[in-house]
């Protein structure tokens, strides 16, 4: 079975994609192919960062690989935090501080529309492909729920009353930005693997 390097160290993400690609590809973390350093994310778009990481892995290993970048885009803030979502309140990636900063900026704001967006960059046989998943919704006025990570406790997806952090992993994956982008990636890779 062909190996596909995922430019992440997140074991949960690796396991999730491996389940979906079972029998087609073996997804391995970048540490398994000798990349243990943090890959700089210096682009000003999600697409740019996803491509930076994938190109880094490909340049160092020559192996098929993919990476993703995700951001929360808030309409009233002109799309912020966007590409800076993980480090919105500072370089230490403090999720609670990020949420506090975002809620303070939205205080008194009636338009709380927002969306999560994930971009996956795939390099397969030297060719680059991009896949995008979007989850529309709005920002709650206070955090709620203990599941998930990042901004999940304050993001209520469209058509739902609960935040991502109040949903089970299966409920969230069925409607999430990352779930949608991964589904596109999986469909593409299955077609490639079966020669269609």
The CATH number of the domain holding residue 165 is: 3.90.950.10
CA angle (86, 89, 95) in 5-degree steps: 50
Residue 38 annotated to the active site: no
**pLDDT confidence of residue 188:** 94
Residue span of the structural domain in which 182 resides: 2-193
- State the first-to-last Cα distance of the chain, in angstroms, to the nearest integer: 18
H-type helices in 21-141, by residue range?
A: 46-61, 95-105
**pLDDT confidence of residue 147:** 87
The CA-atom distances, in angstroms, between 179 and each of 21, 47, 164 are 13, 17, 13
Q: pLDDT tens-digit profile of 30-66?
A: 999 999 988 888 999 999 999 999 999 999 999 999 9
Which of these is catalytic: 22, 44, 64, 69? 69
Average pLDDT (15-25) is: 80
b/e per residue 151-173 (b: at least 16 CB within 10 A): bbbbbbbeeeeebbbbbeeeebb
**pLDDT confidence of residue 192:** 86
CA 143 vs. chain centroid, Å, equals 20
> What is the count of structural domains for the chain?
1
Query: Is this model's pTM higher than 0.85 or not?
Result: yes
pLDDT at 196 over 70: no
Q: pLDDT tens-digit profile of 151-163?
A: 999 999 999 999 9
């Amino acid at each position: 079975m062909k190996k596909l390097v995922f430019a992440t160290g997140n074991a949960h993400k690796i396991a999730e994609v491996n389940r979906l690609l079972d029998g087609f590809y073996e997804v391995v973390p970048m540490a398994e192919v000798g990349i243990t350093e943090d890959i700089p994310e210096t682009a000003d778009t999600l697409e740019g960062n996803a491509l930076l990481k994938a190109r880094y892995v490909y340049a160092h290993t020559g192996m098929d690989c993919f990476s993703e970048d995700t951001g929360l885009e808030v309409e009233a803030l002109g799309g912020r935090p966007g590409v800076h979502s993980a480090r919105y309140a500072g370089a230490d990636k403090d999720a609670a501080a990020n949420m506090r900063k975002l809620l303070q900026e939205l205080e008194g704001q009636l338009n709380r529309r927002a969306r999560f967006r994930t971009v996956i960059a795939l390099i397969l046989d030297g060719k680059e492909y991009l896949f995008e998943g979007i989850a529309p919704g709005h920002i709650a006025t206070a955090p709620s729920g203990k599941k998930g990570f990042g901004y999940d406790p304050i993001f209520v997806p469209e058509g739902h009353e609960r935040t991502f952090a109040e949903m089970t992993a299966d409920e969230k994956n069925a409607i999430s930005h990352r779930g949608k982008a991964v589904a596109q990636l999986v469909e593409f890779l299955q077609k490639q693997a079966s020669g269609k």
